[in-house]
Structure 1
Amino acid sequence: MRELVVLGTASQAPTRMRNHNGYLLRWDDEGMLFDPGEGTQRQMLFAGVSATDVTRICLTHFHGDHCLGVPGVVQRLSLDRVQRPVYAHYPASGRDFFGRLRYAASFYETADLREEPVETDGPVASGTFGTLSALRLEHPVDSYGYRLVEPDGRRMLPDRLAEYGIAGPDIGRLQREGSISVGGPGAGGATVALEDVSEHRRGQRFAFIMDTRLCENVFALADGVDMLVIESTFLAAEAELAESFGHLTAAQAGRVAAECGVRLLVLTHFSQRYTDPAAFGAEAARHFDGPIVVAEDLARVPVPKR
């Protein structure tokens, strides 16, 4: 399963309809919780998300709407006795902040939470899920965006497999070894390479971009992703205000998606000054002609299929 579970979509101040930030990316066996703001633990309950689903906590920066949910989530990991390690990625300059959030109140700690602060641009984690990288953004405090890239692979072609009589366990052996012999030496056997019965399959890509001005790394993070989750705190009429506070407009988010070849654009982190969320989608659509989701609390957004 690969989907984005939206736990909150507000910016600095929550509203009656929008909780502070919070986004869980389900990516096969991984559950990456991005920017859990205040109230995230309760939003997880509403969304049907368990603490056992969380494998990583990824913070872009240490403004309250992006991190005040950490204490509740951390304590819930222990309360629910999560067995596997959970990794925490955050800007290294905020070590003291994370320490205070982690131990904001007394609790019986049983969970294995492993802190892996982000020191500089580059990969922060890798595994069967792919590579998770972070790039510095432009905001009044240290802020990073995240990019997840799955390795490229091969897509097996059923008609080609049938042509060579390859089936069952032999398919797995071919994928592991790169080539196999078919037919046997007494039956005119031949060597079949993986490339003979498959085609290149591009790995899926995801990017998460929160509070920042428009900068080079915004485009680097978004380049060619299948899903871009990006802040659009303001509309274009307040572009100067957005620039001064280190934020993006919906128009800028649309431009990024268009220039970077994004497949699905997810807008979020809306200022409480706006009451019509459709305006964000309409503004982004003037620049990007692909599918756009104006995020709502508790929505589930599938990662586009390959």
Structure 2
Amino acid sequence: MSTRELVVLGTASQTPTRQRNHNGYVLRWDDEVILFDPGEGSQRQLLHTGVTATQLTRICVTHFHGDHCLGLPGLIQRLSLDRVPHPVPVHFPAGGVDYFARLRHASSFHETAELRPEPVDTDGARFALTGATLQARRLRHPIETYGYRLVEPDGVRMLPERLAAYGIVGPAVGELQRAGYLEVGGRRVTLAEVSRPRPGQRFAFVMDTGLCDGVYALAERADLLVIESTFLNSEAALAAEVGHLTAAQAARVATESGVRRLVLTHFSQRYADPERFAAEAREHFAGELVIAEDLSVVPVPPRR
């Protein structure tokens, strides 16, 4: 059975706390294990979660502020130390290619792993995954920043009782799925008669940004939305000035975008009580709400 879940490595913003490490998030999605925004300490946090460097299939960096990328040097070197046998693509804003190069070779090491830099150079860039598409959308922050979205194409769920009623078994089922119809006993049976639509699942990752079109494009109909809520509404003016969201804004985005499960994270160190974020968000979002904690695991909701 495939696993689809978020493993949280760190939930702090610019300054870590005793309870919150710098950013870091791992998405397990079937055969993909994607690391998002590895901040300082991510390598050690991985040890606590049981996720290994060898399991990582892809790395995504939203932007090159330190709390989102300073864990890269150690993780890149760990890929080589563990002699990871498969190529590991790395996505990041194309304007930060020099930052990536410096982080990649921050110190001397014997490079054995195959790292494949794949910069994001256009709003709406797409990258093919097995059974899904990774999309990148431009966000609003003082430096070039992209959010990411994983989209599984819509499909169908075959209905065994309907297939049996028409006597369709074995290889004929695959033929029906490929062609969209099948001739059975002098009658044409269509795929729609023996199946039901199965909406593809969607995951969205939105870090440092003010409100913009990209936020809504990423969040649209997400089954699981991971989104920064650095500030509370009492600091909304400051949030807008520095390119961040409040918990209330993140919750309204989730409601307006039809999000099923909302994960708030990237909390400013000025707030000691995480329940304040929950209380503010619940005023605007009636769905499933998670206030992220370090080393927690958040499942992608079951299919609709």
TM-score, normalised via structure 1 length: 0.95
Quick one: distance in 2 between partners of 1:51 and 1:169?
Answer: 39
**CA contact under 8 A between 1:14 and 1:20: conserved in structure 2?**
yes
Quick one: distance in 1 between partners of 2:223 and 2:238?
Answer: 30
Q: Does 1:110 align with 2:112?
A: yes
Choose the corresponding residue for 2:46, options 32, 44, 49.
44
Q: Does 1:31 align with 2:28?
A: no
Residue 14 (structure 1) aligns with? 16
Quick one: distance in 1 between partners of 2:270 and 2:205?
Answer: 23
1:189 offset after TM fit, Å? 4.5
Q: Secondary structure at the match of 1:267?
A: strand
| Residue pairs, 1:1-306, within 5 angstroms | 1-182=3-184, 188-306=185-303
Q: Secondary structure at the match of 1:5?
A: strand
Quick one: distance in 2 between partners of 1:231 and 1:112?
Answer: 31
Quick one: distance in 2 between partners of 1:43 and 1:172?
Answer: 43
Q: Secondary structure at the match of 1:234?
A: coil
Pairwise CA RMSD: 1.3
Q: Deviations over 1:46-84 (max 9, x none)?
A: 001011221111111000000001011111111111111
Quick one: distance in 1 between partners of 2:175 and 2:298?
Answer: 35
Quick one: distance in 2 between partners of 1:107 and 1:66?
Answer: 22
Give the unaligned 5+ runs of structure 1: 183-187
Q: Deviations over 1:110-160 (max 9, x none)?
A: 111100111111133113331111111111111111111111111111221
**CA contact under 8 A between 1:30 and 1:129: conserved in structure 2?**
no
Quick one: distance in 1 between partners of 2:129 and 2:228?
Answer: 27
Q: Secondary structure at the match of 2:26?
A: strand
TM-score, normalised via structure 2 length: 0.96
Give the unaligned 5+ runs of structure 2: none
Quick one: distance in 1 between partners of 2:126 and 2:101?
Answer: 19
Amino acid at match of 1:231: E
Q: Deviations over 1:190-242 (max 9, x none)?
A: 33232221111111111110001111211111111111100000111111111
Q: Deviations over 1:145-198 (max 9, x none)?
A: 11111111111112211211223443333323433344xxxxx44332322211
